[in-house]
Structure 1
Amino acid sequence: MLTTTKKSRKVIPPLPPGPRGLPIIGYLPLLGTELHRKFEELAGVYGPIYKVWLGQKLCVVVNSPSLVKEVVRDQDTIFCNRDPPIAALAATFGFGGADIAFSSYGPDWRKLRKIFVREMLSNANLESSYTLKREEVKNSIRNVYDKIGTPIDFGELAFVTVINAMLNMWGGTLQGEEGAKFKKLIAEMVLFGKPNVSDLSQQSKMIFQWSENILDTAIEKRMNSNEGKQDGTGKFEQKEDFLQFLLELRRKNDAATSISMTQVKALLWVIMEGGSETTATTVEWVMAELMQHSEAMRKVNEELTEIVGSDSLVEESHLPKLHYLDAVVKKTCRLHPALPFLVPRCPSQSSTIGGYYVPKATRILLHVWAIHRDPNIWENPLEFQPVRFLNDPSKFDFSGNDFKYIPFGSGRRICAGIPLAERTLTYTIASFLHSFEWKLPQGTELEFLDKFGIVAKKLKPTVAIPAPKLSKFELYTK
């Protein structure tokens, strides 16, 4: 007697729910320009995970801490590849995939990230580069003092200060029209967050080429100045900075630590581009929130006076003692995360999230902006209450271990530059708050609308009038 057996078929879970789009173009025409708000609205309809077709690209949006954990912790190796927009790829095309923000997970990425995090941004290197950063902050304080009583675009002030602090840590600065042009070019990076940017690739290449010129000039100048200046150990005699450190790595014969010139530029690019606009944008949001909330501003100023004193400038050594300011910064990062969706991820193989099927190569958006404002997670989420971060500072840090608060991401692809960004952000805002009293121009009001992009900037700049606060005139001029 013959018997037949049925082959068992593996049941594939369904795709996440989501809105119906149009043929070929999907949901693109219905998105509008504020994707973070539109996607928050869709989460209210379809739940903590849903799909959206953007043209022929399947996107899955994740809106809950538990599902974020599945992506960045439980299945991190599967979901740790990137799916950058076309314009972002165009802006970094000259690095040949060496850019650690957008490049795929693999041995080269692990090597560069290890160099960047463990060596380049080690505590010793950050401390040795502090004097270079301090010099640029003092330059900005002098420039503001020269404009006492006149309205200042605080966002522009923050950007010029931060980018020059970053550049000075490897031997370069931007001045005058050059600084204004670079700010404009970096501001175009907000376009990278838009879903349909194929027509921007040429513009993005211009951003890269202009940035590479800055890198090439600094590298050539440093290499020429190093000619014949090596000591007996093969090291250069001059003071070390980030650029010098990377050039010495390039000269090594050890495959585990040596890097190419392209990789040198890629690592400098991470600091110049990745660390400037995000940090400066957050500095501006912090100032805007404090000017809107006078009681919080009063507490910050009292803390600065107590810890620093009116006869001194802020130093990095003061930062660990500025607990209330730290809470204000963390609160601001909750309400205004610099990257509303972080950087899109992409699974290397088909998997599941929350029981739903997620095909290989799907674009995964972790909707941090919505999670940080979810009333089911945060009590009175839109209120500015730094005290909740003050009461439990170890719980809400930037390490990405609490998945309801991940302004810098989590898992293998967490922001590589957190130590530098956190120091630069807090030191910059503390210096401007301690040195000057800031008031709105008469008859003006603050507004808190943002402009969507990979970096969510303020739609309208924060304009404020400074007045001196320090007791010694020389502190502004020396």
Structure 2
Amino acid sequence: MRKISVIELLSNYRLAMLSHVRESSVKNSVKNSVKQVHGMLVKEGSCLVEMKRWFEDITTKVTLRIIAGNAKIEVDDGFRAALKAFFDLGGAFILADAIPFLRWFDFGGYEKEMKKTGKKMDDLLQMWLDEHKRRKFSGEAAGAEKGFMDVMLEILDDGTHEALNFFDADTINKATCLGFIVAGTDTTTRSLTWALALLLNNPHELKKAQEELETHVGGQRQVKESDMKNLVYIQAIIRETMRLHSPIQLLTMRENTEDCILHGYHVPAGTRLFVNLWMLHNDPQIWPDPGEFRPDRFLTTHKDVDLRGKHFDLIPFGSGKRGCAGVSFALQVMEFTLASLIHAFQITTPTGEPIDMTESSGFPTKKVRPLEVLLAPRRPREFYEGLVTDV
């Protein structure tokens, strides 16, 4: 399934073909925010926007468009509530996890709520899948932009795929698509929220990013994905954000299948390993002043350190065969969204005070608090009029 996913959805070729989806989603959100400025003023020429929700809308639209293609799927409050419950329950500490025999009592009603949420998500995905099947058999999907669900239908339809020995085709399709939705929305939203909060608390770094955008993009046109190769400071901001606030604090658990010797230690088969990313990313022997937000370190002393698992000093996406297959997709969405936001708006805090960077509890992730900011257009009105509205 990973091989299919990488080839059909996450390869550089497929990501390049889908660049218009990312661009249209971000530009549409920018245009809607400009309309909001003129319709709901808090201060002269600005409006209050909850940025966590703003980023969430973008990442959800991009991810679902890639999953569904041109098929019309509804993203309503019911879907958002089910997805939020999914993440909240995934990060909840349940007493039965530590004392298994207590599971029968279901203290706190977590298991009951998990089943309820799982049923909601399954019903939604089944509804989307049924729509894709209807479009396929009616001929509506012919020549239309294919989503990943369409690709999975074609692959599984012949009935010979080895995965069908274990699960039915609908279950495989829904589970794989849900995996992408879960992985592609919450982690990206959290990382973008942290990045903006860090920039607001370090206005000199925000100014550097704005100056870079003025140099390479200017004020006469909007940011394009093709600009990103020149926006090295924006890339450095994302790297430094991922170092300070990795989407997950512990890598997905590993378990070795054979006895082995590691640095003189005998590790028996069945040993479970958790990699502590926070310790790696805050090691003062590797990262001078690890608690400080210093994007420029990735342009000087650590310019060769990337996020793709080649350097174990910085592995927010993991490494090796178990590394995140969606690293390229995530970086493209984060870099382009942040660049577009900084280029289009002047961003300040409502009170002028620094953002509270205290992390709330969660496992294996740290939850992000809502982030309210004041957005004011940096460009004349005609600059925004060419932005797309149909996503």
TM-score (norm 1): 0.69
1:115-264 matches, within 5 Å, as 115-148=4-37, 149-171=46-68, 175-178=75-78, 180-189=80-89, 191=91, 197=97, 199=106, 200-229=110-139, 236-252=142-158, 255=161, 260-264=169-173
**Most deviating of 415-424 and 129-138:** 129-138
Distance 2:148 2:157 in 1: 15
Q: Identity rate of aligned residues, in percent?
A: 26
Corresponding position of 1:437: 346
Question: What displacement does 1:273 show?
Answer: 0.4
Distance 2:6 2:195 in 1: 26
1:421 pairs, out of 319, 330, 344, with 330
Question: What displacement does 1:440 show?
Answer: 0.3
- The higher radius of gyration belongs to 1
SS of equivalent residue, structure 2 residue 91: helix
Contact conserved, 1:160 with 1:179, CA < 8 A, in 2? no
In proportion to residue count, which structure has more helix? 2
Question: What displacement does 1:352 show?
Answer: 4.4
Corresponding position of 1:339: 248
Distance 2:94 2:313 in 1: 25
Distance 2:55 2:113 in 1: 25
SS of equivalent residue, structure 2 residue 187: helix
1:261-410 matches, within 5 Å, as 261-391=170-300, 395-410=304-319
Contact conserved, 1:249 with 1:257, CA < 8 A, in 2? no
Distance 1:192 1:422, change over 3 A: farther
Distance 1:224 1:173, change over 3 A: closer
SS of equivalent residue, structure 1 residue 450: coil
Distance 1:140 1:443 in 2: 25
Question: What displacement does 1:322 show?
Answer: 1.1
Contact conserved, 2:249 with 2:277, CA < 8 A, in 1? yes
Distance 1:186 1:303, change over 3 A: farther
Question: What displacement does 1:406 show?
Answer: 0.6
Distance 1:157 1:394, change over 3 A: same
Corresponding position of 1:54: none
Superposed CA offset, 1:136-191 (max 9, x none): 22332233223323322211211121012100112355545235414522441551
Contact conserved, 2:10 with 2:329, CA < 8 A, in 1? yes
AA of the residue aligned to 1:181: A
TM-score (norm 2): 0.84
SS of equivalent residue, structure 2 residue 193: helix
Distance 1:118 1:323 in 2: 28
Distance 1:218 1:180, change over 3 A: closer
**Unpaired segments of 5 or more residues in structure 1?**
1-111
Question: What displacement does 1:254 show?
Answer: 5.4
SS of equivalent residue, structure 2 residue 340: helix
Aligned length: 362
**Most deviating of 196-205 and 300-309:** 196-205
SS of equivalent residue, structure 2 residue 273: strand
Superposed CA offset, 1:326-374 (max 9, x none): 0110011001111110211122234444433444333311001111011
Two-structure CA RMSD over aligned residues (Å)? 2.6
SS of equivalent residue, structure 2 residue 5: helix
Contact conserved, 2:346 with 2:376, CA < 8 A, in 1? yes
Distance 1:465 1:403 in 2: 38
AA of the residue aligned to 1:269: L
SS of equivalent residue, structure 1 residue 152: strand
SS of equivalent residue, structure 1 residue 470: coil
Superposed CA offset, 1:414-450 (max 9, x none): 0111121111111222222222111101254311121
1:461-476 matches, within 5 Å, as 461-471=370-380, 472-475=383-386
Contact conserved, 1:151 with 1:464, CA < 8 A, in 2? yes
Superposed CA offset, 1:197-250 (max 9, x none): 4643333333332222232222111211122428xxxx9332223222222212
Distance 1:394 1:347, change over 3 A: same
Corresponding position of 1:450: 359
Question: What displacement does 1:128 show?
Answer: 2.2
Distance 2:232 2:317 in 1: 20
**Unpaired segments of 5 or more residues in structure 2?**
38-45, 98-102
SS of equivalent residue, structure 2 residue 274: strand
Distance 1:376 1:475 in 2: 49
